[in-house]
Structure 1
Amino acid sequence: MTNASEQDFLFGSPDVVEDGVAAKEFRLLALNIESPSADRVRRQLDWLYGTGANVLVLTEVRVNEAGDLLARELTSSGFAVTRPRTGHDDRYMTLIATKGYQSRPVQLVGENARFHAVRLTTHFGSLDVIGLYSLTNGMSAESSAARRVFQQQVTQSLAARAAAEPTIPLLVTGDLNVVEPGHGPAASRALFEDHDFDFYLDFGRRLGLVDSFRQTHPDAADLTWYGPKGGQRLDHVFTTPDVHTRVVSVGFDHDVRTSRLSDHSALRLTVT
């Protein structure tokens, strides 16, 4: 039997952002939701709806009943949810949920449960939003080798996408599980390998994208995840330069982390 509050949840939230906002503002929120239980999904959704975001990129979504619940509730609240194909061995996936936009999936070379894209028709034209949840730094030789292969595949895929349709701008965001060289605590940077830094740098060097947060806040010291050896900024957003010129705000909402709804801070970006 379902009680009243559960029924309200299943039929969507009345507090969700209106469709009409998309005609004037692109409000992105990217968050690693830390593999939540069904109960924490409900609390996370209340928080997400309260942000007024109309583009959600959610990473570390478990391929299980809680992940299904998340997708169903977002859909019932009026979001168009794009979820990747998952296989028997996939534990996690990235969900992209949008509200008020025409959207369709975009096929990427080598896309997988952690890495996929949608094309949105926005008030400033077509935009490919690419959600990415990179492999975690396990601080072992095996982890390093697996990360290197994954990172190279992502970079090659994005380069192929950019070459195939150079006039359609890109926005890549999510938990990239790398830190930028030259920023953040030295003890945290020391945990990463050269290929991790190359992965970060290649968004600019090979793909011509801009780290919108760093470009906007050159001296900011925000960290988005804390482990036993200190804090790291693992969550990023890269855009083509023409999109970045329209960014009116970009930064991190740490409340979701400090309130323990997730172990990551949320990245927020607004384009007008």
Structure 2
Amino acid sequence: MRIISFNANGIRSAASKGVFDWLRAQRADVVCLQETKAQEDQLGDPQFRPDGHHCFYRDASSKKGYSGVAIYAKREPDEVLTTLGWEPFDNEGRYIEARFGRLSVVSLYVPSGSSGEERQQFKFKVMDWLAPILDAWLGSGRDYVLCGDWNIVRSAKDIRNWKSNQKNSGCLPEERAWLNELVERRGWVDSYRTLHPEGEDYTWWSNRGRARENDVGWRIDYQIVTPGLRERLKSCSIYRAQRFSDHAPYTVDYAD
């Protein structure tokens, strides 16, 4: 089973840069997109409904052309969920879940706090609110793959400029403690770090300067899975050869 997670930073922009040609060649079973930045009625072109895939979008209703998530699946899901029960979060189009038997694949877009204090405080509220939901999923007996842009690095290995970013959103001690609590104590599994314990690869680079060329990046895109899937992790990769977005697609192969 192959699952790809990708923050498109505008699905129409990424499409113009060839992401759908690339995706077609990957033969993924499930593709999770974040930051589609479009309403579904703007995506009438057939390329936004790839052949052989069941396609589901959850747009932002609070602000058009903002946020948004999607899932493409080869197999038709038994159920698709698009709300978690808190309108300020749900209305920004940050969650969609496809269920296949006892497996759930989620496309999740955790807010960024980089635009200012108000959004940082919203991000903290989201983190506090999400924690018991994630605990419930962990104890549900279902297998979960949480794909998405979490907008948080975990450690110095996940960011090039560790010291200079300690006061910046995404690298704040409170944010890292929250994510590391989920992975190191609650039991969630970071697929990349499990497969590459000493890896120092990134999934996002600023558009400023020559950050991407100089690999001054952050690892903020994850596939975080329930413990039962740990032994099924086969391999993972971050695709950088083409630039579809300020993020790179993150692919994980799971044993069937």
- Correspondent of 1:80 among 29, 38, 54: 54
Correspondence 1:210-229 to 2 at 5 A:
210-227=189-206, 228=208
Query: Which of the two has higher C-alpha Rg?
Result: 1
- Counterpart check, 1:43 vs 2:26: no
Q: Give the Å deviation of 1:80.
A: 1.2
1:34 — aligned with what? 9
- Counterpart check, 1:55 vs 2:30: yes
Encode CA deviations 1:7-57: one digit per residue, 9 max, x unaligned: xxxxxxxxxxxxxxxxxxx11010111114368357221111111112000
- Relative to structure 1, is the Cα distance of residues 37 and 75 closer, same or farther in structure 2, using a 3 angstrom cutoff? closer
2:224 — aligned with what? 238
The answer to whether the Cα contact below 8 Å between 1:38 and 1:69 also exists between their aligned partners in 2 is no
TM-score, normalising length from structure 1? 0.77
Q: Secondary structure at the match of 2:223?
A: strand
The answer to whether the Cα contact below 8 Å between 2:138 and 2:226 also exists between their aligned partners in 1 is no
TM-score, normalising length from structure 2? 0.81
**How far apart are the structure 1 equivalents of 2:247 and 2:127?**
21
Encode CA deviations 1:80-100: one digit per residue, 9 max, x unaligned: 122226424252211011103
Amino acid at match of 2:38: V
Q: Give the Å deviation of 1:187.
A: 4.0
Encode CA deviations 1:229-254: one digit per residue, 9 max, x unaligned: 73111111111121121111122112
Task: Count the aligned residue pairs.
Answer: 237
- Correspondent of 2:144 among 167, 170, 182: 170
1:137 — aligned with what? 113
**How far apart are the structure 1 equivalents of 2:147 and 2:251?**
10
Correspondence 1:179-218 to 2 at 5 A:
179-183=153-157, 184-185=159-160, 186-187=162-163, 189-190=165-166, 191=168, 192-205=171-184, 207-218=186-197
- Counterpart check, 1:266 vs 2:245: no
1:120 — aligned with what? 100
**How far apart are the structure 2 equivalents of 1:47 and 1:174?**
19
Amino acid at match of 2:110: S
Q: Give the Å deviation of 1:139.
A: 5.9
Amino acid at match of 1:212: S
Amino acid at match of 1:250: C
Encode CA deviations 1:202-221: one digit per residue, 9 max, x unaligned: 32256421101101101111
Q: Give the Å deviation of 1:188.
A: 6.0
- Relative to structure 1, is the Cα distance of residues 89 and 181 closer, same or farther in structure 2, using a 3 angstrom cutoff? same
2:78 — aligned with what? 103
Q: Give the Å deviation of 1:140.
A: 3.4
Unaligned runs of 5+ in 1: 1-25
**How far apart are the structure 1 equivalents of 2:43 and 2:199?**
36
Percentage of pairs with the same residue: 21
Aligned-CA RMSD value: 2.5
**How far apart are the structure 2 equivalents of 1:220 and 1:79?**
32
Amino acid at match of 2:232: R
The answer to whether the Cα contact below 8 Å between 1:235 and 1:267 also exists between their aligned partners in 2 is yes
The answer to whether the Cα contact below 8 Å between 2:55 and 2:73 also exists between their aligned partners in 1 is yes
**How far apart are the structure 2 equivalents of 1:47 and 1:210?**
27
The answer to whether the Cα contact below 8 Å between 1:61 and 1:67 also exists between their aligned partners in 2 is no
Amino acid at match of 2:220: L
The answer to whether the Cα contact below 8 Å between 2:149 and 2:220 also exists between their aligned partners in 1 is yes
- Relative to structure 1, is the Cα distance of residues 188 and 217 closer, same or farther in structure 2, using a 3 angstrom cutoff? farther
